[in-house]
């Protein structure tokens, strides 16, 4: 099986994205995960332009990596000096990596009008720099910036830039669609021509998503013979992003039959993608091909019936191949058969026409209208059904709470909560301080309940999300709170909606606790 | 200039997306905006499967549309009955539209194994249904479901399905990549073959994004001769979404030189895309090609310098062509030259090396580290700079506030805020009730200040967003609040970060008010 080398730039080109700023610890975690997945190259930073990267490269030197080579990235030497006198190249070498990437100009206009030097000097800058780095024993990737735009403007000069790199010993010539404006047919045609022209060198592709074609362009280049694909996890990158490796890798492995990762690695793709979103502190794109939560989610009633008959009806691949899974969504459109399957887990005797089923459908519509979304909050959904079926007895009664946020602080903390609850006629009143009003209320509620239900000590809130539903109502807007809770055995998500964030959080908190207690009862 | 007919399915196939549920009013607004943009067809719903759609079609009948034809969508007749006896077709006709779309099977496996009928009966279902609808005077689009998978499995049968539709008088044969698993080269090859085979009929394309190739696939079909492109605004749709018209339309108009919209319409694309996100209550994808806020945003220092020299350096088109604009981002990576340009607006005498500039850079880093993002909150950024340059005198002093959220409610409302401020030595104490604690505090603060600064009555909070920054800390997580404020002349965004949502909101509120007052002072 032929091999395509995956070249990840999540830490370098990805860091150009709006809203991205990694700490050194974040970067180390990402490198470890990419290595575990088995990408061939990790472009870790640009030591010339960012001195903080040098500290990171020092840390990287201490890591034991199994699959990946670390790449330090930099530019060709400055105009009119020797490579050995160039400070940026000195920084690049001091990163101490086995391999480096050097970007240079291949579009004549960029040389004359942006770089402001002669076409000949630019070729010398490429050749000198690469020859110098090869003499230092480095593996060298040459990134031909704006290659496709350059080729369209002046094919001869663009190819001369590649030739200068190849003759100086570059191991890979990577063709960059820097502005992301090229279409797959053009990428394929030009890449094929370059592959034929430079038979002894590996050809790479580096695309941007400005026409929403970065994945198609990268795959087209592989079809034309490119053997290195550059991109980023989840397509993180400047403007519209870089080519998304999480789509390219399965496209190439599953559809072109070429190998990108070590055998058996593809099933870890979804978890890698989610963990990079988490580390980069970006909401994961749930509609992302292959690795999004929705990628294999079915909502339309007819689609669900067909998928139940045979998944290939509405799934282009088996989701397990990339570590994802099929989901059947709760919603008005989903149809009663889906809903009934859920209900039957609690009461197998109910049918599509039972009055209880109708009552649940009506309640669901009412709550969805208020802003509830049970597609993610399946535990709150189960509690709604239990309540309507008379299967739920509240575990406690709220007598009152008061949350006070004060500036200046009343006690050691700005936020305090007082709560009074009753369990089986026995009352408990307590209070807690917190980081903010929701945290204070959460702590006070748990404290009040622990005496009655010691098992709630086992549960931990692991995620808290707030979404403003009608943000044009500004500070009076309705908010939806989702809370994710875990214990040693499971993870569950609950929801609350209200114009009051504390009330919305309260509802989700109560559901989180009650779901835990329902599970403990084993019914 | 040759014409490509845009066929929008935001309301029908888009409604299959997870988290989407439009009200009738939402749908009317979307139809009006699509018509104003000038799409040729609007697929508005499926009256057979969703009886609520009929009410919507009645409402649509009352609208005067300029550019768009409304399409009602439905299936071929059921097995073994006449079209005139089919309830779904009856509902379809009762929608009273000039044009309809009918989907039918073109993959032999889907006919035998999912539909469970004979290959011949499926062809009759297609032919009968279309002939019947043509006899009722309808313009008919035939959606050949799973066409590309069908063609790969049994090309002859897939073409027979198209022929049955064409012979019955279908006006358009639309080729669907229902599962989204096909690549552009295959789409192009098969579409070209169909175009040649059915010269008298318009050929359409309908793609899904499961390989992140829906846009490339749609464009490939247009290159092969398809004259109708189906898709949705922002690519809303089931699983990974439908083909994104907001990328396809500019790709086809600006890069293939074919017309999709009435002349002069393309500049409204960005505002249409944003308004559909708003109506559908989805966060707009700011990285979206052409129509995202980040699509022409530049962050890297070197990129910014080059774009300043000439935008084509890092922009594949002029953003104004699609109604978007270039943005130069504030950030550590952006480099001092960008930052300095901002600072110089306030104090032209400062240079890159002034100690004040260094102090601002340091403060910016510190705040970014805390979770601030000034890329969107430019007004808060301006206030930070003013404060560091000694150009800002606070408009009021906070003496204290107390926000109390109580269950059961203490007064008529669950949330109450008390506030005491001082302006020039004069104190004011007041209180307000609100929908939630932030709203109560917002109202109390404005009430206290109005006596001193009556102009704040002109300002209105128009957007309120909350983002949980470290959601794994659950209810103790840090939150970032963004507040957008408007008056008759301008709109500005301010930011606050804290573990306490009330404190974060407070910071953003104070900035919003102070920015208004700074502007009023005209300095």
Q: What is the pLDDT of residues B477-502, one digit of tens each?
A: 788 888 888 887 777 889 999 988 89
Query: Given the DSSP bridges, would you call strands B415-423 and B426-434 parallel, antiparallel or unpaired?
Result: antiparallel
Which chain B residues have a beta carbon less than 8 Å from that of A292?
240
Which chain B residues have a beta carbon less than 8 Å from that of A467?
466
pLDDT, residue B368, reads 79
Task: Give yes or no for B263 touching A (CB within 8 A).
Answer: no
Beta carbons of A475 and B509 less than 8 Å apart = yes
> Which sign, positive or negative, has the C-alpha torsion A419, A424, A427, A431?
negative
Query: Given the DSSP bridges, would you call strands B479-486 and B460-468 parallel, antiparallel or unpaired?
Result: antiparallel
Please state, in angstroms and rounded to a whole number, the distance separating the CA atoms of residues B71 and B92: 10
- Where are the strands (E) in B90-220, listed by range? 99-105, 139-145, 172-177, 202-207
Which chain A residues have a beta carbon less than 8 Å from that of B416?
none
Nearest of A278, A238, A275 to residue A15 by alpha carbon: A238
Please state, in angstroms and rounded to a whole number, the distance separating the CA atoms of residues B327 and B307: 11
CATH number for the domain whose boundaries are A397-521:
3.30.160.270
Please state, in angstroms and rounded to a whole number, the distance separating the CA atoms of residues B397 and B400: 9
State mean pLDDT over B237-246. Answer: 96
* Helix, strand, coil abundance in chain A, percent, nearest 5: 45, 20, 35
Q: What is the band of B24 on the pLDDT scale with cuts at 50, 70, 90?
A: confident
Lowest mean pLDDT among A393-407, B115-129, B143-157, B376-390: B376-390
What tens digit of pLDDT does each residue of B276-324 get?
887 776 778 889 999 998 899 887 666 777 777 788 888 999 999 999 9
Q: Quote the DSSP letter at residue B372.
A: -
pLDDT, residue B375, reads 67
Interface test with A, best of B23, B26, B223, B500 (most A CBs within 10 A): B500
B37 exposed, middle or buried (CB, 10 Å; 0-12, 13-18, 19+)?
buried
pLDDT at B426 over 90: yes
Query: Given the DSSP bridges, would you call strands B415-423 and B69-75 parallel, antiparallel or unpaired?
Result: unpaired
Please state, in angstroms and rounded to a whole number, the distance separating the CA atoms of residues B256 and A184: 13
Task: Give yes or no for A366 touching B (CB within 8 A).
Answer: no
Residues 72-101 of B with CB under 8 A from A: none
Please state, in angstroms and rounded to a whole number, the distance separating the CA atoms of residues A522 and B278: 43
B517 close to B498: Cβ distance less than 8 angstroms? no
Task: Give yes or no for B435 touching A (CB within 8 A).
Answer: yes
| Angle A183-A186-A187 from CA coordinates, rounded to 5° | 80
Candidates A16, A302, A332; nearest CB to B299 = A16
Q: B487 versus A431: which is more confidently predicted?
A: A431
State mean pLDDT over A398-405. Answer: 93
B386, β-bridge pairs? none
Q: How far is A441 from chain B (nearest CA, A)?
A: 9
Residue A406 has phi, psi (to 5 degrees) of -130, 145
Scanning B371-424, the segments in alpha helix (DSSP H) are 378-388
pLDDT at A51 over 60: yes
Beta carbons of B299 and A438 less than 8 Å apart = no
Beta carbons of B500 and A179 less than 8 Å apart = no
**Cα Rg of chain A, angstroms:** 28
Cα separation values, B197 from A266, B5, B102, B124, B219, Å:
40, 20, 21, 20, 20
Candidates A213, A292, A468; nearest CB to B465 = A468
pLDDT, residue A333, reads 47
Please state, in angstroms and rounded to a whole number, the distance separating the CA atoms of residues A16 and B333: 8
Q: What is the band of B471 on the pLDDT scale with cuts at 50, 70, 90?
A: low
Tracing tokens 């669907």 back to the chain, one arrives at: B176
Q: How far is B287 from chain A (nearest CA, A)?
A: 4
- The DSSP string of A281-346 is T----TT-TTTSTTTTEE-SHHHHHHHHH-GGGT-SS-GGGGT---EE--SGGG-HHHHHHHHHHH
Beta carbons of B238 and A373 less than 8 Å apart = no
Structure tokens at B11: 């309301």
Whole-model pTM: value is: 0.77
Tracing tokens 């396809």 back to the chain, one arrives at: B248
B248 close to B219: Cβ distance less than 8 angstroms? yes
The number of CA neighbours under 13 Å toward the Cβ of A96 is: 11
pLDDT at B333 over 50: no
A205, β-bridge pairs? A175, A229
Please state, in angstroms and rounded to a whole number, the distance separating the CA atoms of residues A126 and A150: 16
| Angle A4-A8-A14 from CA coordinates, rounded to 5° | 145
> Which sign, positive or negative, has the C-alpha torsion B420, B422, B423, B429?
positive
Please state, in angstroms and rounded to a whole number, the distance separating the CA atoms of residues B175 and B224: 12
Tracing tokens 């100690």 back to the chain, one arrives at: B355
Q: What is the band of A310 on the pLDDT scale with cuts at 50, 70, 90?
A: confident
Q: How far is B304 from chain A (nearest CA, A)?
A: 12
Q: What is the band of A326 on the pLDDT scale with cuts at 50, 70, 90?
A: confident
Please state, in angstroms and rounded to a whole number, the distance separating the CA atoms of residues B241 and A147: 31
Q: What is the band of B132 on the pLDDT scale with cuts at 50, 70, 90?
A: very high
A5-279 CATH fold: TIM Barrel (3.20.20)
Task: Give yes or no for B405 touching A (CB within 8 A).
Answer: yes
State mean pLDDT over B346-361. Answer: 88
Output the average pLDDT for chain B.
Answer: 90
Please state, in angstroms and rounded to a whole number, the distance separating the CA atoms of residues B289 and B294: 8
Structure tokens at B409: 């409610």
Lowest mean pLDDT among A274-288, B220-234, B350-364, B386-400: A274-288
B307 close to B326: Cβ distance less than 8 angstroms? yes
The number of CA neighbours under 13 Å toward the Cβ of A221 is: 32
pLDDT, residue A293, reads 84
pLDDT at B352 over 50: yes
| Angle A291-B45-B72 from CA coordinates, rounded to 5° | 130
The ipTM value here is 0.76
Query: Given the DSSP bridges, would you call strands A69-75 and A41-45 parallel, antiparallel or unpaired?
Result: parallel
pLDDT, residue A409, reads 85
Candidates A209, A238, A403; nearest CB to B289 = A209
Q: How far is A433 from chain B (nearest CA, A)?
A: 11
State mean pLDDT over A463-472. Answer: 73
Lowest mean pLDDT among A217-221, A493-497, B178-182: A493-497
CATH 3.30.160.270 intervals, chain A: 397-521
pLDDT, residue B100, reads 98
Please state, in angstroms and rounded to a whole number, the distance separating the CA atoms of residues A321 and A309: 20
A222 close to A27: Cβ distance less than 8 angstroms? no
Beta carbons of A501 and B500 less than 8 Å apart = no
Nearest of A261, A242, A376, A232 to residue A322 by alpha carbon: A261
Residues 5-64 of A with CB under 8 A from B: 15-19, 21, 49-50
B242 close to B209: Cβ distance less than 8 angstroms? yes
């Amino acid at each position: 099986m032929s091999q395509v080398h995956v070249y990840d730039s999540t830490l370098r080109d990805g860091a150009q994205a709006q809203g991205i700023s990694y700490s050194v610890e974040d970067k180390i975690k990402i490198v470890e995960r990419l290595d575990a997945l088995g990408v061939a190259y990790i472009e870790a930073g640009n030591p010339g332009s960012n001195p903080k990267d040098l500290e990171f490269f020092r840390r990287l030197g201490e890591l034991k990596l199994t699959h990946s080579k670390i790449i330090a990235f930099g530019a060709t030497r400055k105009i009119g000096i020797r490579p050995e006198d160039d400070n940026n190249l000195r920084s690049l070498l001091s990163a101490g990596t086995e391999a480096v990437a050097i970007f240079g100009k291949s579009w004549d206009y960029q040389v004359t009008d942006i770089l402001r030097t002669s076409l000949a000097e630019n070729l010398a800058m490429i050749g000198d720099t690469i020859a110098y780095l090869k003499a230092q024993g480095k593996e060298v990737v040459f990134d031909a910036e704006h290659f496709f735009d350059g080729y369209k403007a002046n094919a001869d000069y663009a190819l001369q830039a590649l030739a200068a790199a190849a003759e100086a010993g570059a191991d890979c010539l990577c063709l960059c669609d820097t502005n992301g404006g090229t279409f797959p047919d053009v990428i394929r045609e030009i890449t094929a021509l370059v592959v034929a022209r430079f038979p002894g060198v590996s050809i790479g592709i580096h695309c941007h998503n400005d026409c929403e074609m970065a994945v198609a362009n990268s795959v087209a280049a592989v079809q034309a013979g490119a053997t290195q694909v550059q991109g980023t996890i989840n397509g993180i990158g400047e403007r519209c992003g870089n080519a998304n490796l999480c789509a390219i890798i399965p496209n190439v492995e599953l559809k072109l039959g070429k190998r990108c990762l070590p055998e058996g690695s593809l099933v870890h793709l979804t978890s890698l993608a989610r963990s990079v979103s988490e580390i980069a502190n970006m909401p994961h794109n749930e509609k992302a091909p292959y690795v999004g939560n929705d990628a294999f989610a079915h909502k339309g009633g007819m689609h669900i019936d067909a998928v139940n008959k045979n998944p290939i009806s509405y799934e282009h691949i088996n989701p397990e191949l990339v570590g994802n899974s099929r989901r059947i969504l709760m919603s008005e459109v989903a149809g009663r058969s889906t809903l009934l399957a859920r209900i039957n887990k609690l009461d197998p005797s109910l049918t599509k026409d039972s009055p209880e089923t109708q009552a649940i459908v009506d309640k669901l519509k009412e709550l969805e209208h208020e802003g509830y979304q049970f597609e993610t909050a399946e535990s709150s959904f189960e509690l709604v059904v239990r309540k309507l079926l008379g299967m739920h007895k509240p575990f406690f009664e709220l007598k009152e709470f008061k949350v006070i946020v004060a500036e200046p602080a009343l006690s050691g903390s700005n936020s305090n909560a007082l709560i009074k609850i009753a369990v089986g006629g026995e009352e408990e009143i307590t209070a807690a301080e917190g980081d903010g009003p929701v945290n204070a209320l959460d702590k006070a509620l748990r404290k009040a309940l622990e005496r009655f239900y010691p098992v709630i000590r086992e549960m931990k809130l692991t995620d808290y999300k707030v979404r403003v539903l009608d943000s044009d109502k500004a500070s009076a807007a309705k908010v939806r709170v989702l809370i994710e809770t875990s214990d040693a055995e499971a993870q569950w998500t609950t929801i609350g909606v209200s114009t009051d964030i504390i009330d919305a959080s309260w509802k989700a908190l109560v559901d989180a606790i009650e779901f835990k207690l329902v599970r403990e009862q084993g019914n």
